[in-house]
Structure 1
Amino acid sequence: MIQFFQEVQSLDNRACAEFQLSHELLMENAANNLANFIRHIVSTKQIKPRKKDEKIKILIAAGPGNNGADSIALARILQDEFNIIVYLPFGTKSKLCMKQLERANALEIDFCTNRTSKTISVQYFLDTIENISLREWAKDADIIIDGLFGSGLNRPLDDKACEVIDWLNSLQGIKISCDIPSGISHEGDVMWTAFRADYSCIMGACTEAILADRVKDFIGEIHICSLGLSRKMYESMGKPSGFLLEKTDLKLPTRSQSHTHKGTFGHLVILMGEKEGAAILSALSAFQFGTGVVTIIGDSTTHIPSEIIHSFTLPTNPAAIAAGMGLGDFAFQDRRGVRDTLLNRPCLLDADILYQDITKEILEQNPRVVLTPHPKEFVALMRLLGIADCEVLDLQRDRFRFVRLFSHSYPNATLLLKGANHIIAQNDRLAVNYLGIPSLAKGGSGDVLSGLIAALLAQGIAPFEAACNASLAHTLAARSLECASYALTPQRLIEAVSRLEQRETK
Structure 2
Amino acid sequence: MRHAHGVYRAEQSRAIDARAIDDLGIPGIELMRRAGRAAFAVLRERFPEARRLLVVCGGGNNGGDGYVVAWEARAAGLAVELVALSDPDGLSGEAAEACAAWVRSGAAIHDDEGFEARLAEADLVVDAVLGTGLDQDVREDIAQRLDAINAGPAPVLALDVPSGLNADTGQPMGCAVRADATVTFIVMKRGLLTGTAGDWTGPVVLADLDLPDAAFDDVEADAEQLSSDCVSRWLPTRRPSTHKGDLGHLLVVGGDHGMPGAPLLAARAALETGSGLVSVATRREHARSMAVGLPEVMWQDGEDGERLAALEGRADVVALGPGLGRSDWSNAVWDRLIRGERPLVLDADGLNRLADARLERDDWILTPHPGEAARLLGVSPAEIQRDRFAAVRELAGRYRAVVVLKGFGTLVGAPDGRIAVCPFGTPAMATAGMGDALTGIVASLRGQGLAPFDAARAAVVLHARAAEAAAEGRRQVLAGRVIDHLHVVLPQ
With the shorter chain as reference, the TM-score category is 0.7 to 0.9
Equivalent residue, structure 1, for 2:468: 479
Q: TM-score, normalised by structure 2?
A: 0.86
Matches within 5 A, 1:138-217: 138=122, 141=123, 143-186=124-167, 188=169, 189-217=171-199
Conserved 8 A contact 2:57-2:84? yes
The reply on whether 1:229 has 2:211 as its aligned counterpart is: yes
Which of the residues 100, 105, 111 maps onto 1:102?
A: 100
Shift of 1:379: 2.3
Task: Give the number of aligned pairs.
Answer: 465
Equivalent residue, structure 2, for 1:238: 219
2 CA distance for matches of 1:105 and 1:361?
63
Q: Aligned letter for 1:438?
A: P
The reply on whether 1:425 has 2:413 as its aligned counterpart is: yes
Equivalent residue, structure 2, for 1:302: 289
The reply on whether 1:37 has 2:42 as its aligned counterpart is: yes
Conserved 8 A contact 1:27-1:227? no
2 CA distance for matches of 1:206 and 1:402?
20
Shift of 1:135: 4.0
Shift of 1:285: 0.7
1:150 is paired with a residue of what secondary structure? Answer: coil
Structure 2 unaligned spans of 5+: 302-306
Conserved 8 A contact 1:58-1:82? no
Closer/same/farther in 2, CA of residues 31 and 459 from structure 1, 3 Å limit: same
Equivalent residue, structure 2, for 1:286: 270
Matches within 5 A, 1:331-370: 331=329, 339=336, 343-356=340-353, 363-364=360-361, 366=362, 368-370=363-365
2 CA distance for matches of 1:30 and 1:219?
18
2 CA distance for matches of 1:479 and 1:128?
45
1 CA distance for matches of 2:22 and 2:472?
51
Which of the residues 344, 369, 372 maps onto 1:377?
A: 372
Closer/same/farther in 2, CA of residues 203 and 424 from structure 1, 3 Å limit: same
Conserved 8 A contact 1:182-1:195? yes
Conserved 8 A contact 2:54-2:83? no
2:340 is paired with a residue of what secondary structure? Answer: helix
Closer/same/farther in 2, CA of residues 379 and 154 from structure 1, 3 Å limit: closer
2 CA distance for matches of 1:37 and 1:281?
42
Equivalent residue, structure 1, for 2:304: none
Shift of 1:361: 8.4
Which of the residues 60, 64, 89 maps onto 2:59?
A: 64
Matches within 5 A, 1:417-456: 417-426=405-414, 427-456=416-445
Q: TM-score, normalised by structure 1?
A: 0.84
Matches within 5 A, 1:376-395: 376-382=371-377, 389-395=378-384
1 CA distance for matches of 2:66 and 2:354?
55
Equivalent residue, structure 2, for 1:75: 70
1:364-386 residue CA offsets vs partner (Å, 9 max, x unmatched): 2x2x211001122122223xxxx
1:29 is paired with a residue of what secondary structure? Answer: helix
1 CA distance for matches of 2:115 and 2:161?
26
Shift of 1:237: 4.8
2 CA distance for matches of 1:423 and 1:181?
22
1 CA distance for matches of 2:410 and 2:489?
20
Query: What do you get for the CA RMSD once the two structures are aligned?
Result: 2.8
2 CA distance for matches of 1:88 and 1:361?
55
1:488 is paired with a residue of what secondary structure? Answer: coil
Conserved 8 A contact 2:411-2:422? yes
Q: Matched residues, percent identical?
A: 25
Equivalent residue, structure 2, for 1:53: none
